Structure 1
């Protein structure tokens, strides 16, 4: 597969006037292949949404990209501004936000939203007449399993699930290569959530776009995605195929997250907990950020921030687990 996005040492800082700088994303490197659907999970405040906005160059003050390269489709987005960045995004990147009501203007119909998008990004010779917009709207609504009459409705006339489907349809309007879904089902009940996620997954498979699913819901991510990135304190703690993660995590933080997740269909549900809370990123720790909450932590964990190292079918940033794997690899086979 071809690499569609390659991020190297991406850092994002929030800087309020007169306040301390918060290092929300710290030297994150990752790559996405064409057609992959990748999950991004972690506790609140771990940098998931900030990373998603950074990769799409949609950060707003006081957030600021303070380092790194973001090469999308062969072009470094970090080096672009203004019209050059807008042109690169046109058929490249789309974003679906958490709340459909907040993402949509209350005074614009669904068709009005679509008309704004198509006209804003129209190239010379493209047909953006009323009829062309209407036909494109019907096509898009059909993709997200909504009737054509939704085009004439306003956001307040739609249910939460319908608003989110409209947001997805609008994201598809320019045939993007990459779509970032920022907690797209958080505000929905579980039945609607499942239906919307099934639609997203079917659309991703049908259209072949690369997807990033940002979510707190580990169950949704494991069911929907091919690969999972686990974030903690602004860094990637683990990067594994979803199937590998289901069989067993490598980073203690990922294990703790899995311990907080249970199948609601099970007869007995025993949920764990993670003691403590993520660190204050106005003063990032010098060692592993998870060490104060980790039962496996050793002296090196407090002193040295671990890099992502090969573990299992992916990578994890853990001195203890990487050391154990290395010792296991070096053991001589028994002759007894």
Structure 2
């Protein structure tokens, strides 16, 4: 696994807001004021409950949002260029050797009436550089290289998506994402709906490719165990916000945001002879409403009055950061005083 560098981040997002507008007068803030940085060659995980905004953030960072979702505010600097404002050919040029997205469902990501070879050819031709020509022979050679990279036999080239297993389809999706040699790849729950053995094999391929090729990876997943095992750093998301940012190794020990601790309590090592799983009472907040204070406050067992009215923001905690007044007070950081909330 490659270590991140101390150079300027490959991707730097500031104040990213994403709104869904499914009907007139309805606005749902799926991503709210997110700041994050991804270093060159870093492998980062993003975890959280369903509906917290993980996939939406991944789509926003790779400029793949579609209506009714909309990037409401913020900057997304990739290699020094704000891609949040790019459209058309300018955005297409950035994708070539820039960034790519692997979707969670290989069957939905692939065109059912195109063979694997046609998929690769379409990608190469759509993003060809000026003067670059991809005829059938050259694109087939490149497709063969890509299949070998993801451990698929050459005969897969002539198959259609329905002729492949779920794991094979996901490997094809990974190959397509790597066809343009991106510096950043966002993996949106790449092992969803795969059986346990196939999940492990696919994650092994992703980890190997990331280490060998040195691209930056953002792994979005519900599987906390997989994220902690595969990544260097873990971002925890709740109600559209990043509430914790820690080295993955540090999440196994120490005090963390109460939501992170609740997620850890829901995870157990399947190899242990006996496990006890926890749970998180209550439900995530309605993101169509204004949310004062910490969004986790209504579900938090350690909530204080200040948590209900003032958003703590990410502050130093251990080797990383967390957005929690309670944990900030525990390490001696100043916490605002508020009148008692009845």
* TM-score, length basis structure 2: 0.94
Task: State which of 34, 37, 40 in structure 2 corresponds to 1:34.
Answer: 40
Whether the 8 Å contact between 2:293 and 2:309 is mirrored in structure 1 is yes
Q: What do the CA deviations read for 1:186-206 (whole angstroms, capped 9, x no partner)?
A: 110000000000000000000
Task: State which of 50, 53, 64 in structure 1 corresponds to 2:70.
Answer: 64
Q: How has the CA–CA distance of structure 1 residues 318 and 84 changed in structure 2, closer, same or farther, with 3 Å as cutoff?
A: same
Whether the 8 Å contact between 1:40 and 1:231 is mirrored in structure 2 is yes
Whether 2:301 is the aligned partner of 1:295: answer yes
1:224-263 matches, cutoff 5 A: 224-263=230-269
Whether 2:271 is the aligned partner of 1:265: answer yes
Deviation at 1:307, TM superposition (A): 0.6
Structure 2 unaligned residues grouped into runs of 5+: 335-342
Q: What do the CA deviations read for 1:194-251 (whole angstroms, capped 9, x no partner)?
A: 0000000000000000001000110111111110000000000100000001123510
1:158 aligns to what?
Answer: 164
Separation (CA, whole Å) in 2 of partners of 1:76 and 1:159 = 38
1:24 aligns to what?
Answer: 30
Structure 1 unaligned residues grouped into runs of 5+: 329-336
Q: How has the CA–CA distance of structure 1 residues 74 and 240 changed in structure 2, closer, same or farther, with 3 Å as cutoff?
A: same
Deviation at 1:82, TM superposition (A): 1.4
Separation (CA, whole Å) in 1 of partners of 2:131 and 2:252 = 50
Task: State which of 276, 280, 284 in structure 2 corresponds to 1:274.
Answer: 280
Deviation at 1:41, TM superposition (A): 0.3
1:105-120 matches, cutoff 5 A: 105-120=111-126
Whether the 8 Å contact between 1:182 and 1:214 is mirrored in structure 2 is yes
Whether the 8 Å contact between 1:185 and 1:197 is mirrored in structure 2 is yes
Task: State which of 301, 304, 309 in structure 1 corresponds to 2:310.
Answer: 304
Whether the 8 Å contact between 1:171 and 1:179 is mirrored in structure 2 is yes
2:137 aligns to what?
Answer: 131
Separation (CA, whole Å) in 2 of partners of 1:324 and 1:272 = 24
Q: How has the CA–CA distance of structure 1 residues 327 and 285 changed in structure 2, closer, same or farther, with 3 Å as cutoff?
A: closer
Q: How has the CA–CA distance of structure 1 residues 100 and 327 changed in structure 2, closer, same or farther, with 3 Å as cutoff?
A: closer
Separation (CA, whole Å) in 2 of partners of 1:63 and 1:248 = 37
Deviation at 1:26, TM superposition (A): 0.5
Whether the 8 Å contact between 1:248 and 1:255 is mirrored in structure 2 is no
Task: State which of 318, 322, 325 in structure 2 corresponds to 1:319.
Answer: 325
Separation (CA, whole Å) in 2 of partners of 1:128 and 1:205 = 28
Secondary structure, aligned partner of 2:73: strand
2:184 aligns to what?
Answer: 178
Separation (CA, whole Å) in 2 of partners of 1:211 and 1:163 = 20
2:340 aligns to what?
Answer: none
Whether the 8 Å contact between 1:274 and 1:293 is mirrored in structure 2 is yes
Separation (CA, whole Å) in 1 of partners of 2:150 and 2:64 = 25
Q: How has the CA–CA distance of structure 1 residues 256 and 206 changed in structure 2, closer, same or farther, with 3 Å as cutoff?
A: same
Q: Would you identify which runs of 4 or more consecutive aligned residues in structure 1 move more than 4 Å?
A: none
Separation (CA, whole Å) in 2 of partners of 1:97 and 1:228 = 20
Whether the 8 Å contact between 1:11 and 1:66 is mirrored in structure 2 is yes
The number of residue pairs the alignment matches comes to 328
Deviation at 1:85, TM superposition (A): 1.2
Q: What do the CA deviations read for 1:64-118 (whole angstroms, capped 9, x no partner)?
A: 1111110001100112111111111121011100110000011000000000011
Whether the 8 Å contact between 2:125 and 2:133 is mirrored in structure 1 is no
Q: How has the CA–CA distance of structure 1 residues 34 and 327 changed in structure 2, closer, same or farther, with 3 Å as cutoff?
A: closer
Q: What do the CA deviations read for 1:274-311 (whole angstroms, capped 9, x no partner)?
A: 00011000003201110111111000000101110000
1:334 aligns to what?
Answer: none
Whether 2:69 is the aligned partner of 1:46: answer no
